[in-house]
Chain A
Amino acid sequence: MLDDFFIRALVAGIGLAITVGPLGCFVIWRRMAYFGDTMAHSALLGVALSLLFDLNLMLSVFLVAAGVSLLLLLLHRRGALSTDALLGILSHSTLSIGLVLVAFMSWVRIDLIGFLFGDILAVSRADIDLVWGGGILVLFAIIYLWRPLLASTVNHELAEAEGLQPQRARLFFMLLMALVIAIAMKIVGILLITSLLIIPAATARRFASSPEIMAVLASLIGVLAVTGGLFGSLHFDTPSGPSIVVAALGLFVLSLIPFGRRAAGGAMTHPTSGGQH
């Protein structure tokens, strides 16, 4: 039952899940879910540009995602439109420009569905090296940036006043997000990357008593979701990316079920969380 391609998919998926756990926590703490979505959608523009100019696919996706996040920062600073309107504009326009560009390039045939929803069963040895290599880099960077990132999540000015340079930490965080999107695109696809960031982290919230524990739990829950999703996809012959997301959702729903005395108040029933994503 465990073919070679399946083992490769499992190894790559687990590597990705471990990487995105801590990052996903920051995405929900900082209420950046839509922001992550926008960066992910811009990946398709990256794909189109890589085909057009014959660039390395991951590099191109990374550059476009990073560029979009910087552009958003600049537009936001000008303060003409609210952040969510800007996000909406950038998110769907980059996706659409990508699709239009791809349609113009009649000489290339690409597997659009593969990019949008992921093709984890097609990962190669080289992909695995990239996922794990990039993942370890991202994890070390997050550990290094942990204190300034967490402090500025609580309050930007507080972090600034006490000398933690939150601006720099935020810039690096954006670059890490872009890197993760470039890595994750092949595995869960452009449209589903944010769910892999958010759902395990949201599931971890209920069981976590500190930010650090929540980050580790998010990684572990992500590993469970990837494993469950891939086995489910093999068993029911369903697309792998969506199956992983469904498995993650299943774990999230399980975490909502009250049990024992700790259930009082229900972690995810609080009005300021849960319902959003």
Chain B
Amino acid sequence: MSLIRPSDHKLSDQKPLVVLKNAGVRRNGRWLVRGVEFSIGRGEIVTLIGPNGSGKSTTAKAAIGVLKPDEGWVERQPGLKVGYVPQKLAIDWTLPLTVERLMTLTGPLKAGEIADALSATGISHLARAEVQHLSGGEFQRALLARAVARKPDLLVLDEPVQGVDFTGEIALYDLIKSIRNRTGCGILLISHDLHMVMAATDTVICLNSHVCCRGTPQAVSQSPEYLKLFGSRAAKTLAVYSHDHDHTHLPDGRVLHADGSITDHCHPDDGHHHGDRADEGGDLDHSHGPDCGCGHHSRLQGFDTKERDRA
């Protein structure tokens, strides 16, 4: 898989990309969100979680300057390049738009940059497809590819896994993590799914019209504010997902391993695999089952069983 190079232009490495200080947004006499404080640095992943209407999208829009804060302030590094995947994006059917054309929607790109982004998100084979014909997961990947291709300093993903099934969700989180690792960009991730937070997240911020708690994923799942907001049932099932991705399923069905070899199927004991993990507070070692040709099936089952046991 070809690499996506970090941004060509230079921003300060010391200062955070974005800082929100006591930021609040007010609409129709009501505070959508208030007193938000956080910053995102280069290479940092910040995840916003919270119930519907808790101001997650509003906060993200304030952070990238789409909304102006009515209180407090938002400071972005000058020349900050943002890549944005909005929460709702419906492309009118009358607009003929292929995945390839979608890539250059907000700025010109070289053919090589487009190809890199498409292969990094695993949709090279869809370059010529019309976006209206894509499945939910494919469309999210296309949007992600578009945002990544412009080599942003800050990637803002508003519910990037919506409409994606559980397996696809894990694959997308892996992809997001690998994008961070390769490009060193900062990532602001919004998740409506309280049960699932990326383990690679540096900071989880739990919003409910204000910052209700924050910390590492493990710390937040234990915090009393989180329990109060979502109930102990939710806290029990807050799954912190971590996954050492060591192979990639190519579009033609073959498997590309971390050591660069390609096989027809992935087998757990062929020496290519180093183990996957699914954490839920503590550690749990988990490896692929014997018939894992489909990828993550066996691990998924293990996950379900464990959730059932807790409940």
- Asked if B96 contacts A214 (CB within 8 A), the reply is yes
Q: Given that A157-B84, A161-B64, A162-B82 are known contacts, is A29 also in contact with B94, CB under 8 Å in the complex?
A: yes
User: Do A157 and B96 form a contact, CB below 8 Å, given A151-B106, A162-B84, A210-B101?
Assistant: no
Q: Most chain-B Cβ atoms within 10 A of its Cβ — which of A29, A151, A164, A208?
A: A29
In the docked arrangement, what's the CA distance between A150 and B156, Å? 21
Binds A, one of B85-93, B116-124, B164-172, B204-212: B85-93
A126-170, CB under 8 A of B: which get 1 and which 0? 000000000000000000000100110111011111111000000
* Chain A 22-56 per-residue mask, 1 if CB under 8 angstroms from chain B, else 0: 00000011110000000000000000000000000
Closest to B96 in A: A208
Residues on B with C-beta less than 8 A from A209 are 96, 98
B105 within 8 A of A: yes
Does the CB pair B91–A154 fall under 8 Å?
yes
Q: Cβ of A213 and Cβ of B92 under 8 Å apart? A: no
Size category of the binding interface on chain A = 20 to 34
Nearest chain A CB to B10 CB, angstrom units? 18
The yes or no answer to B61 lying at the interface (CB within 8 A) is: yes
Contact check, A154 vs B97: say whether CB atoms are below 8 A apart: yes
- A155-B89, A157-B61, A210-B101 as given contacts; A162 in contact with B96, CB under 8 Å: no
Q: How far is the CB of B56 from chain A (nearest CB, A)?
A: 14
Selected from A160, A161, A272, the residue in CB contact (under 8 A) with B92 is A272
A213–B84 CB distance below 8 A: no
Check if A158 sits within 8 Å of B96, measured CB to CB: no
The 4 closest A-B pairs by CB, nearest first: A161-B84, A162-B106, A272-B93, A161-B64
Q: Which residues of B contact A (CB under 8 A)?
A: 61, 64-66, 82-84, 86, 89, 91-98, 101-102, 105-107, 150, 156
> What are 12 pairs between A and B in contact, CB < 8 Å?
A30-B92, A154-B95, A155-B86, A157-B66, A157-B84, A161-B84, A164-B106, A205-B96, A210-B96, A210-B101, A211-B95, A211-B97
User: Which A residues are closer than 8 A to B by beta carbons?
Assistant: 28-31, 147, 150-151, 153-155, 157-164, 202, 205, 208-211, 213-214, 270, 272-273
